């Protein structure tokens, strides 16, 4: 059944691309008064045929495209007497009309993605995330500016915003510019000034597509009450440890850090709490990573009465919660790690707290991630990056990723501490050989105390991975231990404007990437093996189908843009080549000779034949490698 669905999806995508292209030629040809002899959907033997006026319409056996045949449209062949004199023949129309007819196919390929993306956005974005602060990322501009969980941003520099997507769009245009945010906070209006940080998106640097946008580093999702605990604090003495999740304060359930902050901030001197200890989760497979956080807090809840130091405050802050209870948001706690990852090889474990990177304090895992990728991005942004050979790019990127020093804190349960002490004694006695950074550190470290709190250091370098297409990518498999909950969606306040902005952004970004890739291919800076054909398209359609209709629509839009651009290239036998000849005819005031057109047709046919062979080779090679 899955194969049937994917086959139908491929037929639909490929057929719609080509039929819509040919439909463009058909509609404009009729509009320009050219006689259309036939319009066929598919190729091969005719299944259904009907005639309306001078045009034959047909559905053929192979649903992989279509074609339009007009009177007098064979530019490389001689014309008979009737065609030469017929005013409805293509060649008898003014140059500008013929150019419109030829350009209509690629233009319709650009119209198709606009239509499908716009419609998809209207449907999928009928409900949107509000422009509400869920979690200011530790160390980011939003946190420095004082934005708080629950703040609703209503305007950016006076321009109203009604959804989180609109907020992202407005902030993205203001990189490194001081920006005024109009905020609603607990029913009161406030103004917060923030300077969005420039973030570089260099995922297509090999073809020169590098995007710089502004970000204030704020998530619309609200972090749960997974906390870090100060040693010796009231919570610590009650048995709560870093990585545990508080579920109840004074009999009231809490889910998020904001709820926990409010409950503890106004709680009396002594208060009963309940919490779920963090489990000992092993490394997870990549396909289980998305749900790995769900398995960290499955132990039975524990309860205790906690006596705070100091009195309650009217407006609790992180500093007061830290000083009074010992509670801190778990920004620096490492989440589940992937099996066979560089992070696991460096000795890191889920629940570890990253304190410093090369001696500099780390505000949170997201900030650590940004710091670790800076050397990689500096190579991507090198002015000569595009001109380097693929192997040279990888070599330079790997050379930039030198090992970094991570200072960590690991909290051990009493049982785990006892086992680690046995391991340490065996290492020091020489009866066992330490394996890996953690055991190597244990072998050299002084005996551990009874607190279960271990401060240790390891070297870690993110890995540069090279895919089958020779494109490098940086793998940093670090995620935060603190899960986040999605807020309730709201009705899109401006669905049409939102859909248009989303469509325009996706269309522009896709067109830039395809244009840049095509240009680099002709320059020789991009490997020719990146060019794929129908087999590659079938693979892409299959993968998109696995992710649902929305991903399939996005693929359809990208392929349609790609087809439109390729058809505009000045290659004989494709629309771009015909447009070039018509432009020359417009300048010379006479068409090229029949011999010139025939030679161009043979040259174009040879080029397309060679391209077909290259594409088939790439497709088959990718298929068997896969």
Q: Which residues are catalytic?
A: 22
Q: Which of 408, 406, 381, 410 is nearest to 393 (CA)?
A: 381
Host H or E run for residue 197: strand 197-204
Task: Give the burial string for 57-88 (b: 16+ CB within 10 Å, else e).
Answer: ebebeebbbbbbebbbbebbeebeeebeebeb
d(CA 33, CA 94): 11
Is-contact 356 332, C-beta < 8 A? Answer: no
Which tokens go with 516? 């840049």
Tokens of 189: 């209006």
Q: Phi and psi (nearest 5°) for 259?
A: -65, -40
Nearest to 171 by CA among 145, 206, 139, 195: 195
CB–CB of 520/206 below 8 Å? yes
* Distance spanning both ends of the chain, measured CA to CA: 22
19 Cβ partners below 8 Å, 6+ apart? 41, 65, 66
| C-alpha distances out from residue 571 to 206, 576, 578, 602, Å | 25, 6, 8, 11
- Nearest 10 degrees: Cα torsion 231, 234, 237, 240: -80
Contact 296, 336 (CB under 8 A): yes
Structure tokens at 572: 């004989």
H helices of 406-494, where? 414-429, 436-444
Report the C-alpha gap between 626 and 619 in whole angstroms.
10
Q: Give the separation between CA 161 and CA 155, rounded to whole angstroms.
A: 5
Cα 563 to chain centroid, rounded: 23
**Can you say how many angstroms the Cα of residue 8 is from the centroid of all Cα atoms in its chain?**
27
Sign of CA dihedral 62, 66, 72, 77: negative
């Amino acid at each position: 059944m899955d194969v049937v669905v994917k086959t139908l999806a491929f037929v639909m995508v490929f057929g719609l691309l080509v039929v819509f292209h040919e439909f463009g030629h058909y509609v404009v040809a009729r509009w320009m008064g050219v006689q259309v002899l036939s319009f066929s959907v598919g190729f091969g033997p005719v299944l259904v045929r009907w005639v309306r006026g001078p045009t034959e319409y047909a559905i053929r056996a192979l649903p992989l495209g279509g074609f339009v045949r007009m009177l007098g449209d064979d530019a490389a062949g001689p014309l008979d007497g009737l065609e030469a004199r017929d005013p409805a023949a293509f060649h008898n129309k003014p140059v500008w009309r013929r150019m419109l007819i030829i350009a209509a196919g690629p233009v319709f390929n650009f119209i198709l993605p606009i239509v499908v993306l716009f419609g998809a956005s209207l449907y999928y974005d009928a409900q949107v995330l509000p422009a509400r602060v869920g979690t200011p990322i530790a160390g980011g501009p939003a946190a420095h500016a004082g934005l708080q969980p629950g703040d609703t941003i209503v305007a950016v520099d006076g321009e109203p915003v009604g959804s989180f997507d609109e907020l992202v769009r407005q902030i993205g245009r203001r990189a490194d510019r001081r920006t005024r945010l109009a905020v609603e906070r607990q029913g009161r209006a406030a103004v917060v000034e923030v300077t969005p940080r420039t973030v570089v998106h260099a995922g297509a640097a090999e073809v020169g597509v590098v995007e710089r946008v502004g970000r204030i580093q704020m998530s619309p999702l609200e972090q749960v009450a997974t906390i870090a605990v100060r040693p010796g604090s009231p919570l610590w003495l009650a048995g709560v440890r870093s990585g545990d999740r508080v579920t109840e304060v004074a009999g009231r359930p809490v889910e998020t850090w904001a709820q926990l902050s409010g409950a503890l901030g106004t709680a009396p001197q002594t208060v009963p709490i309940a919490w779920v200890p963090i489990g000992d989760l092993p490394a997870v497979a990549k396909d289980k990573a998305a749900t790995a956080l769900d398995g960290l807090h499955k132990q039975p809840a524990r309860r205790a009465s906690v006596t705070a130091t100091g009195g309650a405050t009217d407006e609790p802050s992180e500093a007061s919660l830290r000083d009074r209870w010992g509670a801190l948001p778990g920004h620096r706690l490492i989440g589940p790690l992937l099996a066979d990852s560089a992070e696991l090889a460096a000795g890191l474990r889920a629940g570890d707290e990253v304190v410093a990177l090369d001696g500099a304090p780390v505000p949170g895992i997201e900030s650590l991630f940004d710091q670790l990728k800076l050397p990689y991005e500096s190579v991507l942004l090198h002015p000569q990056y595009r001109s380097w050979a693929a192997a040279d790019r990888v070599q330079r990127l790997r050379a930039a990723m030198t090992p970094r020093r991570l200072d960590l804190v690991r909290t051990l349960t009493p049982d785990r501490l006892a086992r680690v002490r046995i391991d340490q004694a065996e290492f020091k006695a020489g009866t066992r050989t330490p394996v890996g950074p953690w055991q190597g550190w244990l072998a050299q470290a002084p005996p551990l105390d009874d607190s279960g709190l271990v401060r240790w250091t390891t070297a870690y370098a993110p890995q540069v991975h090279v895919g089958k297409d020779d494109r490098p990518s940086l793998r940093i498999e670090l995620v935060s231990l603190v899960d986040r909950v999605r807020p309730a969606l709201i009705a899109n306040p401006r669905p049409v404007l939102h859909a248009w902005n989303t469509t325009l952004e996706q269309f522009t970004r896709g067109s830039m990437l395809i244009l840049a890739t095509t240009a680099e291919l002709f320059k020789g800076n991009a490997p020719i093996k990146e060019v794929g054909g129908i087999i590659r398209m079938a693979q892409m359609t299959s993968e998109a189908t696995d992710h649902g209709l929305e991903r399939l629509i996005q693929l359809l839009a990208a392929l349609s843009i790609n087809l439109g651009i390729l058809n505009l290239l000045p290659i004989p036998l494709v629309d771009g080549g015909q447009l070039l000849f018509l432009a020359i005819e417009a300048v010379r005031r006479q068409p090229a000779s029949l011999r010139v057109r025939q030679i161009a047709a043979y040259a174009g046919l040879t080029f397309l034949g060679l391209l077909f062979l290259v594409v088939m080779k790439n497709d088959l090679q990718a298929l068997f490698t896969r």
